[in-house]
């Protein structure tokens, strides 16, 4: 039977009983079964749990008031789901089944959403290509020889391929926005503190943020209404009440009164010509919609990547100390003593990139190097924040390309960590400064690979970012472009 | 906290991973002890190198030529003019990797030690560009948001002990304990 794919349409159809939540859930599970084998976007399918949940929703009398009624959702595999394996795509958590739900899971389910599965990612969210998963890379639905980006590549690919209308990812240095750009979908990293991280397997706690993938800004705003808000289980979540995110959107696509800052000094090198052309065209569109466009300077942005990799690895080395073979997942069985068991479990359970980062993080925190690396990075982080503060005195949002290139080939950057880290050049700033930022599709390269446009806003002004991105989206048709091969498969 | 308090079955629920620690009293205590001993040993070693940059700088293996110059003292701010920018990446050898891996409790293969020494030298050479940014008097930022708020000190019921024990690779459910290999070799 024909069921809608758009989250709003699903909600309306299930509320009016034009179709049941079980029908919608089955259709999503069927799409996953048909489309996932070549893509490897999913780590686990929660078939029974999802169908039970959908049947419960169909039996409820108060279903009309549920904002995400019957909407199938995929979660990145680093968010705890009770009874469903959660591994962060790491061997060290193989077999781990969490005894509790992350706060985002509770919120989604109480809003009527149906969680259908867990998506592949770079191990512990460390990477920019999903190639660091212990369970094989995810492939880009637009070109199977290319990466979907990362680290939330599975979630991005699942939404881009139409398997689910919405998915959650986590963003520590661009891990929602960069894969969204490379897969041609919308990816939103809310302000630091806007969404609870309770139940998110921590990577770098001063940077991590959960956020949505959707095929439109409106879809992202819809799910944000459910995700946002204070949580007593996460003391970094903001006590400020979250306003209605969808109410901030204006379908007329009018951007008059909005000032957009462009830090053009950052685009001098390393940005592909196709990306820059699409970006310039997008800025012209916003100008045509009434936005004022001005130059801004983010003086310390060139240092953002080294600052990020010092801070993120330092925090990761502390956060990942808990994986010791005692309490969860994998344990090396051949150790004679407790100490050996720790060393072997961690040595074999973690993959290369994770070990590389634990070593780097331990090193920059060790006596004699702490001041030179970690403290210094925290000081430059302050300067990066001040750059944004200065820019936001004059502009409402800052526009940049999301990623300097479109999707790269699998294996192309795995040998050189620094090259891989440079994928994050335009995204890490928002994490270091705690700002809301979104990636929306803004074009295709000559070989039909998606290009993303990023808007960054003031801290806790998530609504402004969504409003501008939605306005831009209304004026163009890039968000409705779908991967060609899959479009034909879906219509069969 | 006394060992008696740690051994109690019903304790207030808190937000950190403390409940898990409390539920593994023996394993956690022994780990703290051995880890503390390890850290104190290694710290002494590091401090002994700090102010005496006597080791000759090694050539970088990472393909990124590090600035010439010797390892700087840990207690001094790096200077920002030309060749006095000190390099720390040129000291990253396999024995450095081994030392840090011991701190992080990671068993590495010989191949991984070589690979990481080379790659981390490259990453650190790249990270040295932050040394050129003047930061005198700049406060460090540890957190992007406002300072974390404290919640009210209210007891919330934790999950049953079995919920945590069954998620572990090896546990004795009836005794209510995680099982680990013997502590002393």
What is the secondary structure of A466-482 as a DSSP string?
A: HHHHHHHHHH--GGG--
In this prediction, residues A140-154 reach a mean pLDDT of: 97
Cβ contact, residue pair B107, A99, below 8 Å: no
Cβ contact, residue pair A347, B106, below 8 Å: yes
pLDDT of the residue at A489: 55
| Antiparallel, parallel or unpaired: β A259-262 and A450-457 | unpaired
CB < 8 Å to B27, chain A:
326, 338
pLDDT of the residue at B90: 56
Least confidently predicted of A164-173, A245-254, A373-382: A245-254
| CA–CA gap between residue A262 and residue A253 (Å, rounded) | 20
Cβ contact, residue pair A309, B180, below 8 Å: no
CB < 8 Å to A352, chain B:
112, 115
Closest-approach residue (CA) in chain B for A344: B107
pLDDT at position A423 over 90: no
CB < 8 Å to A95, chain B:
169
| CA–CA gap between residue A168 and residue A153 (Å, rounded) | 11
pLDDT at position A183 over 60: yes
| CA–CA gap between residue A454 and residue A426 (Å, rounded) | 9
DSSP A439: E
pLDDT at position B28 over 80: no
Q: Which of B15, B42, B135 sits opposite A235 (nearest CB)?
A: B15
Tell whether B6 is within 8 A of chain A (Cβ).
no
* Angle subtended by helix axes B94-103 and B110-127, to nearest 10: 90
Q: How confident is the model at residue B26 (pLDDT cuts 50, 70, 90)?
A: very low
Q: How confident is the model at residue B144 (pLDDT cuts 50, 70, 90)?
A: confident
DSSP A371: I
Q: How confident is the model at residue B59 (pLDDT cuts 50, 70, 90)?
A: very low
A170 annotated active-site = no
Q: How confident is the model at residue B154 (pLDDT cuts 50, 70, 90)?
A: confident
Residue, of B86 and A485, whose pLDDT is higher = A485
Nearest alpha-carbon partner for B15 in A365, A100, A324: A100
pLDDT of the residue at A383: 97
Q: Which of A341, A376, A418 sits opposite B122 (nearest CB)?
A: A418
Q: What mean pLDDT is reported for chain A?
A: 95
Q: How confident is the model at residue A8 (pLDDT cuts 50, 70, 90)?
A: very high
Q: How confident is the model at residue B185 (pLDDT cuts 50, 70, 90)?
A: low
pLDDT at position B137 over 80: yes
Nearest alpha-carbon partner for A373 in B100, B37, B146: B100
CB < 8 Å to A329, chain B:
169
pLDDT at position A20 over 60: yes
For A223-249, the pLDDT digits (tens) are 999 999 999 899 899 988 888 999 999
What is the CB neighbour count within 10 angstroms for residue A223? 30
Helix (H) or strand (E) holding B44: helix B25-49
pLDDT of the residue at B40: 36
3-class SS of residue A44: strand
Tell whether B13 is within 8 A of chain A (Cβ).
no
3-class SS of residue A260: strand
Residue, of A111 and A239, whose pLDDT is higher = A111
Give the gyration radius of chain A's Cα atoms: 21
pLDDT at position A2 over 80: no
Q: How confident is the model at residue A484 (pLDDT cuts 50, 70, 90)?
A: confident
Least confidently predicted of A39-53, A371-385, B106-120, B152-166: B152-166
pLDDT at position B104 over 80: yes
Q: For A265, what's the count of Cα atoms within 13 Å in the CB-facing half-sphere?
A: 9
In this prediction, residues A304-310 reach a mean pLDDT of: 95
pLDDT of the residue at B7: 36
**A20 φ/ψ sector (left φ>0, alpha ψ -120 to 50, else beta):** beta
pLDDT at position A285 over 90: yes
pLDDT of the residue at B39: 36
Nearest alpha-carbon partner for A41 in A104, A135, A166, A165: A135
Q: How confident is the model at residue B16 (pLDDT cuts 50, 70, 90)?
A: very low
For A327-354, the pLDDT digits (tens) are 999 999 999 999 999 999 999 999 999 9
The fold of the A7-298+387-491 domain, in CATH, is Amidase signature (AS) enzymes (3.90.1300)
Helix (H) or strand (E) holding A464: helix A462-475
Is A192:B144 a contact under the CB 8 Å cutoff? Answer: yes
Is A475:A291 a contact under the CB 8 Å cutoff? Answer: no
In this prediction, residues A53-77 reach a mean pLDDT of: 96
pLDDT at position A104 over 90: yes
Least confidently predicted of A232-236, A376-380, A449-453: A232-236
Based on the number of CB atoms within 10 Å of its own CB, is A432 exposed (0-12), middle (13-18) or buried (19 or more)?
buried
pLDDT of the residue at A9: 96
A417-430 burial string, b = 16+ CB within 10 Å, else e? bbebbbbbbbbbbb
Q: How confident is the model at residue A301 (pLDDT cuts 50, 70, 90)?
A: very high
Nearest alpha-carbon partner for A119 in A143, A69, A84, A71: A84
| Antiparallel, parallel or unpaired: β A186-189 and A209-214 | antiparallel
* Angle subtended by helix axes A21-39 and A47-59, to nearest 10: 160
Least confidently predicted of A9-13, A26-30, B157-161: B157-161
Least confidently predicted of A247-261, A429-443, B2-16: B2-16
Nearest alpha-carbon partner for A195 in A101, A308, A115, A107: A107
Q: Per the structure block, which two tokens stand in for B3?
A: 């060992």
Is A173:A428 a contact under the CB 8 Å cutoff? Answer: yes
pLDDT of the residue at A364: 95
Q: Which of A326, A362, A377 sits opposite B103 (nearest CB)?
A: A362
Handedness of CA B34, B36, B39, B45 (dihedral sign): negative
Nearest alpha-carbon partner for A153 in A89, A69, A232, A67: A89
A151 annotated active-site = yes
Cβ contact, residue pair A98, B167, below 8 Å: yes
Distance of CA B127 to the CA centre of its chain: 18
pLDDT at position B34 over 60: no
pLDDT of the residue at A487: 53
Nearest alpha-carbon partner for B23 in B181, B173, B183, B182: B173
Q: How confident is the model at residue B184 (pLDDT cuts 50, 70, 90)?
A: confident
Cα angle B24, B99, B106 (rounded to 5 degrees) comes to: 40
pLDDT of the residue at A234: 92
Is A97:A84 a contact under the CB 8 Å cutoff? Answer: yes
For B88-98, the pLDDT digits (tens) are 445 688 999 99
Distance from CA of A52 to the nearest CA of B (A): 22
Q: How confident is the model at residue A123 (pLDDT cuts 50, 70, 90)?
A: very high
| Antiparallel, parallel or unpaired: β A259-262 and A397-401 | parallel
Closest-approach residue (CA) in chain B for A311: B142
3-class SS of residue A362: helix
Nearest alpha-carbon partner for A212 in A195, A224, A198, A197: A224
In this prediction, residues A267-286 reach a mean pLDDT of: 95
Tell whether B148 is within 8 A of chain A (Cβ).
yes
- As for the ipTM of the complex, it is 0.89
């Amino acid at each position: 039977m024909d069921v809608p794919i758009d989250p709003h349409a699903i909600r309306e159809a299930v509320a009016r009983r034009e179709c049941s939540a079980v029908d919608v859930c089955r259709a999503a599970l069927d799409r996953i079964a048909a489309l996932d084998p070549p893509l490897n976007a999913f780590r686990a399918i929660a078939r029974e749990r999802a169908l039970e949940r959908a049947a419960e929703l169909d039996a409820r009398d108060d279903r009309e008031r549920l904002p995400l009624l019957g909407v199938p959702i995929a979660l990145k595999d680093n968010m705890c789901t009770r009874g469903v394996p959660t591994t962060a795509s790491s061997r060290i958590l193989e077999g781990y089944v969490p005894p509790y739900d992350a706060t985002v899971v509770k919120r989604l389910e109480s809003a009527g959403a149906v969680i259908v599965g867990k998506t592949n990612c770079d191990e512990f969210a460390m990477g920019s290509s999903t190639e660091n998963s212990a369970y094989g890379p995810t492939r880009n639905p637009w070109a199977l020889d290319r990466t979907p980006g990362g680290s939330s590549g599975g979630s991005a690919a699942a939404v881009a391929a139409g398997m689910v209308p919405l998915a959650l990812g986590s963003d520590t240095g661009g891990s929602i926005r960069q894969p969204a750009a490379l897969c041609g979908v919308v990816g939103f990293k809310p302000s630091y503190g806007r969404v609870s991280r309770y139940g998110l397997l921590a990577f770098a706690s001063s940077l991590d943020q959960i956020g949505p993938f959707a095929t439109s800004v409106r879809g992202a705003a819809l799910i944000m209404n459910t995700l946002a808000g204070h949580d007593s289980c996460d003391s970094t979540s903001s006590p400020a009440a979250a306003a209605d995110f969808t109410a901030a959107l204006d379908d007329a696509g009018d951007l008059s009164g909005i000032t957009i800052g462009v830090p053009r000094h950052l685009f001098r090198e390393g940005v592909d010509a196709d990306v820059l052309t699409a970006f310039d065209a997008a800025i012209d569109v916003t100008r045509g919609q009434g936005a004022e466009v001005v130059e801004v300077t983010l003086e310390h942005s060139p240092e953002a990547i080294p600052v990020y990799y010092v801070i993120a690895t330092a925090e990761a080395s502390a956060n990942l100390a808990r994986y010791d073979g005692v309490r969860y997942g994998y344990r090396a069985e051949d150790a004679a003593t407790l100490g050996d068991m720790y060393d072997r479990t961690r040595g074999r359970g973690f993959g290369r990139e994770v070990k590389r980062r634990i070593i780097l993080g331990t090193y920059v925190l060790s006596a004699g190097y702490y001041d030179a690396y970690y403290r210094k990075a925290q000081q430059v982080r302050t300067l990066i924040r001040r750059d944004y503060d200065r820019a936001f005195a004059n502009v409402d949002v800052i526009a940049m390309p999301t990623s300097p290139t479109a999707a790269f080939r699998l294996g192309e950057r795995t040998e050189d960590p620094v090259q891989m880290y440079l994928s994050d050049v335009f995204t890490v700033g928002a994490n270091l400064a705690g700002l809301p930022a979104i990636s929306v599709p803004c074009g295709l390269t000559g070989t039909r690979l998606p290009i993303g446009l990023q808007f960054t806003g003031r801290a806790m002004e998530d609504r402004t970012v969504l409003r501008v991105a939605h306005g831009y989206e209304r004026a163009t048709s890039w968000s409705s472009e779908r991967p060609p091969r899959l479009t034909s498969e879906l219509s069969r | 906290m006394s060992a008696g308090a740690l051994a109690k079955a019903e304790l207030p629920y808190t937000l950190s991973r403390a409940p898990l620690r409390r539920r593994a009293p023996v394993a956690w205590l022994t780990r703290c002890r051995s880890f503390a001993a390890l850290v104190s040993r290694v710290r002494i070693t590091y401090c002994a190198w700090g102010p005496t940059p006597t080791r000759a700088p090694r050539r970088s293996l990472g393909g990124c030529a590090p600035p010439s110059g010797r390892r700087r003292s840990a207690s001094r701010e790096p200077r920002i003019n030309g060749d006095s920018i000190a390099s720390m990446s040129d000291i990253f050898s396999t024995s450095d990797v081994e030392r840090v891996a011991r701190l992080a409790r990671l068993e590495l293969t010989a191949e991984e030690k070589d690979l990481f020494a080379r790659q981390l030298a490259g990453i650190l050479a790249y990270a040295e560009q932050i040394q050129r940014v003047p930061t005198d008097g700049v406060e460090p930022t540890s957190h992007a948001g406002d300072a974390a708020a404290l919640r009210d000190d209210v007891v919330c019921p934790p999950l049953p002990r079995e919920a945590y024990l069954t998620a572990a690779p090896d546990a004795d459910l009836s005794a209510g304990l995680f099982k680990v290999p013997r502590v002393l070799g």
